[in-house]
Amino acid sequence: MGLRPAKCYKWDSPAYTRVAKNPQDSFITGIPGSKVTRYTMGNLKAEFDTEISVVMKENVQVRHNAIESARITVNRALEDKLGVSNFRFKIRVYPHHVLRENVMATGAGADRVQSGMRHSFGKPVGTAARVHKKQAMLTVYINKDENRIINVKRALKKGMMKLPGETKITIKSVK
């Protein structure tokens, strides 16, 4: 089965743990690893004077595979247009929130096996980052040049297609 739609994982779902009579049962075990492999790319040592960021316009949960997809898309476009040494690209969020699913049995006799929504805490199926309104999610640092700014905006727009919710691009001077 593919991924469930985002409406299954609302922002108001309980975060991280459950409260049980036995304290050992209060922790989620077997959390799947994040698909995001790198959080900073490009030239990590150079000083840059301009910061271009993707900012969320609403509260949203972003799955780890959406973050990784946006990272790959933006990084590839930046390396093609600017070269590896002319930018620093940073992912500003980390997928801490555990997404759970109450797996239902299917097939003949499934109704006798299952307890429905009784004890329906669910099994971990992935992780997500909870991103707040006006929070920067992806940031690219460059030295100010009109041509570079246009290329970075194009790369970030490609990455924004992979992310849920409404986003905007902001530009500000670092120094």
**pLDDT above 80: residue 17:** no
Residue 89 domain-assigned (yes or no): yes
Number of domains making up the chain = 1
Residue 84 domain-assigned (yes or no): yes
**pTM given for the model:** 0.85
Residue 109 domain-assigned (yes or no): no
**CATH code (residue 143):** 3.90.1170.10
pLDDT of residue 90: 97
Strand, coil or helix: 167: strand
**pLDDT above 70: residue 1:** no
User: What is the rounded average pLDDT for all residues in the chain?
Assistant: 87
Residue 82 domain-assigned (yes or no): yes
**Chain mean position to CA 90:** 13
pLDDT of residue 108: 72
- CA nearest neighbour of 55 among 150, 142, 132, 152: 132
Pure H helices in 31-123: 64-82, 110-113
Residue 153 domain-assigned (yes or no): yes
Residue 9 domain-assigned (yes or no): no
pLDDT tens, residue by residue, 54-112 = 999 999 999 999 999 999 999 999 999 999 999 999 999 999 888 888 777 777 766 66
Task: For residue 103, give every residue at least 6 positions away whose Cβ sits within 8 Å of its Cβ, in sequence order, or none.
Answer: 122, 123
Residue 81 domain-assigned (yes or no): yes
pLDDT tens, residue by residue, 99-158 = 888 777 777 766 666 777 777 677 888 899 999 999 999 999 999 989 999 999 999 999
Residue 25 pLDDT class (50, 70, 90 cuts): confident
pLDDT of residue 111: 67
Give the range with max mean pLDDT: 23-27, 70-74, 163-167, 170-174. 70-74
Give the residue numbers spanning the domain of 63. 34-101+123-173
Which residues are 111's β-sheet partners? none
CA-to-CA distance for 96 and 174, rounded, in angstroms? 28
Residue 151 domain-assigned (yes or no): yes
